[in-house]
């Protein structure tokens, strides 16, 4: 599988793992303290070839996504579930631990954030679905994020994330049905 866009990852171990899965060029941020020079490179690459942000499904990875999205709107995003990023469930969590198939799957399901998107899913929809309050809201948000492949976010950010990724009512409803099937198992 050849990827024309440049994949932005956190470090060299991520690059090695990506190259086991696909034929792609990567740019490493070397952590969450992204320099202005790196952001300028990402912007130039976005203009010339396109950019896919592919970071770990953790706090630092989300921080990197936000920094890049603010500096370079319109980049694409690939997400791994926490399960796929830590297959042995013991050690650290990251792209460098994902299987080649999980990486290819994430790259087949890209999202592009649309900053001016009109929200389709309302806050009331989120409340009714038990995603922003209640004893199981966190578990339900985690499952929803994995099913939709948009990553995990807190209740406040979920509304924004669904809007930015232009999740339709139909996609949301289908994902909720899957959450309802999985959630009792948690």
The whole-model pTM stands at: 0.72
Kindly report the average pLDDT of the chain as a whole number. Answer: 88
Judge contact between 91 and 54, C-beta under 8 A. Answer: no
Q: At what angle do helices 137-148 and 169-182 cross, to 10 degrees?
A: 120
CA distances, 28 to each of 15, 73, 131 (Å):
8, 19, 34
185 has a pLDDT exceeding 60: no
159 has a pLDDT exceeding 70: yes
- Which pLDDT tens digit goes with each residue over 35-66? 999 999 999 999 999 999 999 988 899 899 98
Instruction: Quote the percentage of the chain above a pLDDT of 90.
Output: 54
Comparing CA positions, the residue from 20, 24, 21, 22 lying closest to residue 8 is 24
Per-residue pLDDT, 33: 83
Q: What is the pLDDT averaged over residues 138-150? A: 89
Distance CA 80, CA 55 (A): 8
Q: Where along the chain do its domains lie?
A: 2-112, 123-185
Tell which wins on pLDDT, 185 or 30. Answer: 30
Judge contact between 84 and 102, C-beta under 8 A. Answer: yes
Class (C level, CATH) for 2-112: alpha beta
Instruction: Quote the percentage of the chain above a pLDDT of 70.
Output: 91
Query: What one-character-per-residue DSSP string does 91-107 give?
Result: S--SGGGS-HHHHHHHH
Residue at token pair 């948000």: 141
User: What are the CB-based long-range contacts (under 8 Å, 24+) for 99-106?
Assistant: 100/17, 100/20, 100/21, 101/21, 103/17, 103/18, 103/20, 103/21, 103/22, 104/1, 104/21, 104/22, 106/54, 106/78, 106/79, 106/80, 106/149
Greatest Cα pair distance in the chain:
47
Residue 164: CB partners within 8 Å, gap ≥ 6?
113, 114, 115, 117
- Which pLDDT tens digit goes with each residue over 51-105? 999 999 888 998 999 899 889 988 999 988 888 888 665 667 889 999 999 999 9
């Amino acid at each position: 599988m050849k990827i024309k866009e440049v994949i932005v990852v956190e470090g060299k171990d991520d690059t090695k793992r990506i190259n086991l899965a696909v034929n792609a060029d990567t740019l490493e941020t070397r952590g969450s303290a992204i320099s202005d020079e790196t952001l300028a490179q990402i912007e130039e690459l976005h203009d010339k070839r396109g950019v896919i942000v592919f970071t770990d499904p953790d706090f630092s990875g989300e921080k990197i996504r936000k920094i890049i999205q603010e500096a370079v709107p319109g980049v694409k995003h690939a997400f791994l579930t926490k399960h796929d990023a830590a297959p042995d469930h013991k050690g650290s969590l990251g792209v460098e631990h994902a299987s080649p198939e999980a990486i290819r799957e994430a790259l087949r399901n890209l999202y592009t954030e649309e900053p001016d998107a009109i929200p389709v899913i309302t806050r009331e929809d989120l409340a009714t679905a038990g995603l922003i309050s209640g004893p199981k809201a966190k578990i339900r948000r985690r499952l929803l994020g994995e099913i939709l492949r948009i990553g995990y976010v807190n209740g406040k950010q979920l509304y924004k994330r669904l809007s930015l990724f232009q999740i339709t009512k139909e996609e949301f409803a289908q994902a909720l049905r899957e959450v309802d099937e999985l959630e009792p198992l948690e």
